[in-house]
């Protein structure tokens, strides 16, 4: 089946619909129906507001597990093993990402440790391995939405992909639930009656399974009692409640709630998600799934924008182990799903979407109706909205209205490129971040600033540095009737990170005190090679909570770290790794100073794509070693080296295409050409092995 013509709008609406649902349900997650009634009453919107909504497991899984489609070597033979590798690659080791409740308690934790210890997928999540109680918890469906989004109108493909994905961590009815939800999403692209969506999706799971039984039971109740959803919930509570299904959070009662919300919502997005939320139990999971289905079904026109989408402002925090993937926006997710959908369908990406999906997938392009790409402002009295009135490229842009532009005033409109604890109200699922743009790179944007008769108007590209607060300004352009391309190259060699990139709007009066101003922003993106230093004496430990601590600009896969003596200390009982930099870097070098304080296995990592994909160069066993991690480290080449504990060495590793070179104290020691599926992009890191403890100083990255 061909991908529908309105696919791009609907995939964005589906992803937005899910994120709205997660945020709607998160503040009352695990509450009972009665508690929600007593405290909240009739819910009709978000129960809580946030500075920024922190990371959530319901969005972490969908964002990162789907990357298995791109990472696998053979898409024609895509399997559960590929999704299992994605889980190990992108999830930190027993912290963040999802609930680490213990082996035999948390289904995902259990499956993760099974995979880590060599139990392959799909056995890793099976009933045979873990027992029915653990295997049939809710996670089989809460992470599954993208497998329907990448198979629009093709439920057979959605069911196949979802079965492979869900079985990595779950078994039995939890896998059937994943297949059912993915099929609902897939069918919603081509079928606009929610009851027909549900009926058609049921055909893809066993008719006699418990999951199908609860779906049909709710359908039957609704047919006989269509007017009062509370009567249906009472029926669910009494006949399919938590008391009948053991474990931390079983899939069956929550599946009943999703079907209840979809049916009694009567095709209305807002009514569906609010009814689903008021039922209680696993609210963020249930409303997230229902919201995705209804977002696809109704498109952007069906989502009340100001009430539900505007507070999100397209921003999405995540907590994978690649930190530059954690401060993302909803258009990025929608575009990534679309990229995979066209790849699976074997179709050419159409028109304006081709350069976005292939070259600038994380740019601010505003082509999705309603999208804002998380553009913000420090100003008062403004409105930001997506528009089809003007466009530099494509057909849409961001329209910014400043209600009163005073003589001599400045207004900043920007993309935040680095986040810390101060930007959030909580630490849910332990997010960590690296900057999205770096010294040495160039910021690009396009602006249309129509003239105003009573004042001179100017637009200036700018960058704000995070530690110093310094604002770097580019060349100003005056108001005009045509689009103007602005750019600013960030000076190379800085050891400060970039906090914001954007445009300053300012005025010089012509006799009037103030006037309303409108301008348009389009095509905000970054390119160029990084030239960046990290001075660990200037970094800090970020204290999110009593148990969540990060090193600024870094994510930690595993290990113990602290700052002392002007450097970063990293130690481990078996291995430890930390990552920073941008996931898209290609050819560059990284160098630093390493001192082994205990043990002698100390490394720099390059082209890091996660915990299971990178190169490492460093010292081990009296040798200088270059290794490749492709689901386990393998030595590529090595050379003897006299290495005294406590002695500092300068280490440099460079990657240019598939060629890697290693220097120690200025002397070239190793060269290697990787012709076996070379890793060609990725960020940087530091790592230790074999129980070692290393002191790192003065990292430097330079594009080549």
339-369 per-position pLDDT tens digit: 999 999 999 999 999 999 999 999 999 999 9
Chosen CATH of 533-703 out of 3.90.180.10, 3.20.20.70, 3.30.70.260, 2.60.120.560: 2.60.120.560
E strand segments, 528-587: 531-534, 541-543, 549-551, 555-558, 560-564, 567-571, 575-580
What is the number of alpha carbons within 13 Å of residue 477 lying toward its C-beta?
21
Please say whether the dihedral angle defined by the alpha carbons of residues 240, 241, 244 and 245, taken in this order, is positive or negative: positive
Res. 81: pLDDT tops 70: yes
Helix, strand and coil percent figures for the chain, each rounded to 5? 35, 30, 40
Q: Which of 317, 441, 300 is nearest to 374 (CA)?
A: 317
Q: Which of 85, 52, 53 is nearest to 68 (CA)?
A: 85
Report CA dihedral (695, 700, 701, 702) to the nearest 10 degrees. Answer: -150
Q: What is the pLDDT of residues 4-40, one digit of tens each?
A: 999 999 999 999 999 999 999 999 999 999 999 999 9
Q: Is 501 exposed, middle or buried (0-12, 13-18, 19+ CB in 10 A)?
A: buried
Please say whether the dihedral angle defined by the alpha carbons of residues 95, 98, 102 and 103, taken in this order, is positive or negative: negative
Q: Cβ contacts of residue 429 below 8 Å, gap of 6+?
A: 54, 55, 56, 57, 60, 96, 97, 98, 319
Please say whether the dihedral angle defined by the alpha carbons of residues 635, 640, 646 and 649, taken in this order, is positive or negative: negative
Q: Do the bridges between strand 560-564 and strand 567-571 make them parallel or antiparallel, or are there none, so unpaired?
A: antiparallel
Whether residue 80 contacts residue 143, with contact meaning beta carbons closer than 8 Å, is answered with: no
Q: Do the bridges between strand 455-465 and strand 410-416 make them parallel or antiparallel, or are there none, so unpaired?
A: unpaired
pLDDT reported for residue 218: 98
Res. 643: pLDDT tops 80: no
Tokens for 429, please give them: 């699922």
Res. 512: pLDDT tops 90: no
Q: Do the bridges between strand 315-317 and strand 613-620 make them parallel or antiparallel, or are there none, so unpaired?
A: unpaired
Q: Can you tell me the distance from the alpha carbon of 115 to that of 496, in angstroms, rounded to the nearest whole number?
A: 39
Tokens for 219, please give them: 């359908």
Q: Which of 239, 297, 240 is nearest to 263 (CA)?
A: 297
Tokens for 508, please give them: 């010089």
Containing 158, the helix (H) or strand (E) segment is helix 155-166
Q: Can you tell me the distance from the alpha carbon of 169 to that of 428, in angstroms, rounded to the nearest whole number?
A: 21
Res. 383: pLDDT tops 70: yes
Is the overall model pTM greater than 0.85, yes or no?
yes
Q: Cβ contacts of residue 121 below 8 Å, gap of 6+?
A: 79, 80, 81, 83, 84, 111, 115, 167, 168
Q: Which of 567, 616, 621 is nearest to 595 (CA)?
A: 567
Mean pLDDT, range 123-143, rounded to an integer: 98
* CATH top-level class of 7-317: mainly alpha
Q: What is the pLDDT of residues 550-593, one digit of tens each?
A: 999 999 999 999 999 999 999 999 999 999 999 999 999 999 99
Q: Is 310 exposed, middle or buried (0-12, 13-18, 19+ CB in 10 A)?
A: middle
Res. 514: pLDDT tops 90: no
E strand segments, 241-366: 315-317, 327-329
pLDDT interval class at 406 (50, 70, 90) = confident
Same topology, domains 7-317 and 375-528? Answer is: no
- Is residue 7 helix, strand or coil? helix
Q: Residue 48, Cβ neighbours under 10 Å: how many?
A: 11
For the beta sheet containing 397-406, the strands, ordered from the edge strand earlier in sequence to the opposite edge, are: 382-387, 397-406, 514-527, 442-448, 484-489
CA 205 to chain centre: 29
- Is residue 15 helix, strand or coil? helix
Q: Distance from first CA to last CA of the chain, Å, rounded?
A: 44
Q: Can you tell me the distance from the alpha carbon of 602 to that of 546, in angstroms, rounded to the nearest whole number?
A: 29
Q: Can you tell me the distance from the alpha carbon of 94 to that of 146, in angstroms, rounded to the nearest whole number?
A: 24
Q: What is the pLDDT of residues 171-227, one digit of tens each?
A: 999 999 999 999 999 999 999 999 999 999 999 999 999 999 999 999 999 999 999
pLDDT interval class at 508 (50, 70, 90) = confident
Q: Is 302 exposed, middle or buried (0-12, 13-18, 19+ CB in 10 A)?
A: middle
Q: How many helices (H) and strands (E) does the chain have?
A: 20, 30
What single DSSP character describes residue 152? Answer: T
Locus of tokens 């959605």? 158
* Residue spans per domain, the chain: 7-317, 375-528, 533-703
Tokens for 674, please give them: 């990787």
CA distances in angstroms from 326 to 54, 91, 94, 96, 297, listed in the order given: 10, 12, 17, 12, 28
Q: Do the bridges between strand 327-329 and strand 375-377 make them parallel or antiparallel, or are there none, so unpaired?
A: unpaired
What is the number of alpha carbons within 13 Å of residue 253 lying toward its C-beta?
27
Q: Residue 689, Cβ neighbours under 10 Å: how many?
A: 22
Q: Can you tell me the distance from the alpha carbon of 71 to that of 82, in angstroms, rounded to the nearest whole number?
A: 8
Q: Is 215 exposed, middle or buried (0-12, 13-18, 19+ CB in 10 A)?
A: buried
Q: Output the CATH code of domain 375-528.
A: 2.60.120.260
The angle subtended at Cα 454 by Cα 451 and Cα 459, nearest 5°, is 40
Res. 499: pLDDT tops 90: yes
The torsion angles phi and psi of 105, rounded to 5 degrees, stand at -120, -60
pLDDT, averaged across the chain: 97
pLDDT reported for residue 510: 66
Instruction: Name residue 555's beta-bridge partners.
Output: 579
Q: Which of 433, 402, 396, 400 is nearest to 417 (CA)?
A: 433
């Amino acid at each position: 089946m061909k991908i529908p013509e309105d696919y791009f709008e609907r995939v964005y609406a589906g992803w937005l619909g899910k994120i709205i649902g997660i945020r709607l349900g998160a503040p009352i997650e695990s509450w009972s129906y009665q508690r929600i009634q007593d405290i909240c009453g009739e819910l009709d919107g978000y129960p809580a507001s946030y500075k920024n909504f922190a990371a959530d497991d319901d969005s972490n899984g969908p964002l990162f597990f789907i990357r298995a489609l791109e990472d696998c070597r053979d898409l024609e033979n895509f399997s559960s093993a590929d999704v299992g590798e994605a889980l190990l690659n992108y999830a930190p080791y027993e912290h963040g990402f999802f609930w680490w409740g213990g082996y035999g308690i948390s289904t995902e934790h259990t499956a993760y440790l099974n995979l880590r210890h060599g139990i392959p997928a799909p056995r890793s999540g099976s009933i045979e391995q873990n027992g029915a109680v653990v295997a049939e918890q809710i996670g089989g469906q809460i992470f599954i939405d993208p497998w329907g989004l990448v198979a629009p109108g093709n439920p057979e493909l959605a069911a196949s992909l979802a079965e492979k994905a869900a079985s990595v961590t779950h078994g039995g009815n939890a896998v059937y639930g994943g297949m059912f939800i993915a099929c609902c999403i897939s069918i919603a692209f081509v079928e606009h009656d929610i009851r027909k969506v549900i009926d058609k999706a049921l055909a893809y799971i066993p008719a006699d399974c418990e999951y199908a039984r609860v779906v049909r039971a709710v359908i039957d109740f609704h047919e006989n009692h269509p007017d009062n959803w509370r009567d249906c919930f009472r029926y669910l509570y009494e006949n399919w409640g938590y008391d009948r299904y053991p474990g931390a959070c079983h899939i069956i009662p929550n599946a009943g709630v999703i079907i209840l919300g979809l049916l009694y919502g009567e095709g209305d997005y807002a009514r569906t998600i609010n009814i689903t939320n008021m039922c209680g139990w696993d609210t963020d999971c249930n409303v997230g799934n229902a919201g995705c289905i209804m977002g696809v079904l109704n498109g952007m026109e069906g989502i009340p924008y100001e009430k539900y989408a505007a507070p999100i402002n397209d921003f999405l925090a995540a907590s994978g182990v690649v930190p530059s993937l954690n401060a993302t926006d909803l258009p990025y997710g929608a575009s990534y799903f679309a990229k995979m959908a066209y790849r699976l369908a074997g179709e050419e990406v159409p028109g304006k979407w081709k350069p976005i999906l292939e070259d600038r997938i994380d740019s601010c392009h505003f082509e999705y109706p309603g999208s804002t790409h998380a553009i913000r402002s420090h100003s008062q009295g403004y409105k930001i909205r997506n528009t089809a009135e003007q466009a530099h490229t494509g057909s849409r842009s961001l329209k910014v209205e400043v209600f009163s532009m005073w003589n001599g005033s400045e207004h900043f409109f920007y993309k935040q490129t680095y986040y810390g604890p101060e930007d959030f109200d909580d630490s849910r699922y332990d997010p960590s971040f690296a900057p999205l743009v770096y010294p040495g790179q160039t910021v690009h944007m396009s602006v249309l600033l129509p003239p105003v008769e009573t004042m001179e108007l100017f637009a200036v590209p700018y960058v704000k540095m995070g530690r110093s607060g310094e604002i770097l300004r580019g060349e100003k352009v005056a108001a005009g009737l045509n689009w103007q391309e602005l750019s600013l190259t960030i000076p190379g060699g800085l050891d400060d990170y970039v906090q914001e990139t954007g445009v300053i709007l300012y005025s010089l009066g012509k006799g009037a005190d103030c006037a309303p101003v409108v301008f348009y922003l389009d095509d905000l993106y970054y390119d160029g090679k990084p030239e960046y230093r990290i001075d660990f004496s200037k970094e800090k430990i970020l204290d999110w909570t009593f148990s969540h601590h990060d090193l600024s600009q870094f994510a930690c896969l595993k290990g113990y770290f602290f700052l002392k003596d002007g450097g970063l200390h990293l130690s481990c009982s078996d291995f430890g790794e930390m990552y920073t930099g941008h996931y898209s870097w290609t050819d560059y070098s990284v160098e630093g100073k390493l001192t082994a304080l205990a043990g002698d296995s100390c490394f720099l990592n390059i082209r890091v794509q996660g915990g299971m994909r990178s190169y490492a160069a460093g010292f081990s066993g009296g040798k200088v070693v270059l290794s490749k991690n492709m689901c386990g480290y393998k030595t590529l080449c090595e050379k003897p080296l006299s290495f005294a504990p406590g002695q500092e060495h300068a280490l440099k590793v460079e990657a240019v295409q598939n060629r890697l070179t290693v220097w120690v104290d200025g002397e070239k020691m190793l060269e290697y050409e990787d012709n076996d599926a070379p890793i060609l992009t990725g960020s940087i890191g530091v790592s230790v092995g074999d129980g070692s403890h290393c002191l790192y100083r003065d990292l430097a990255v330079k594009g080549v």
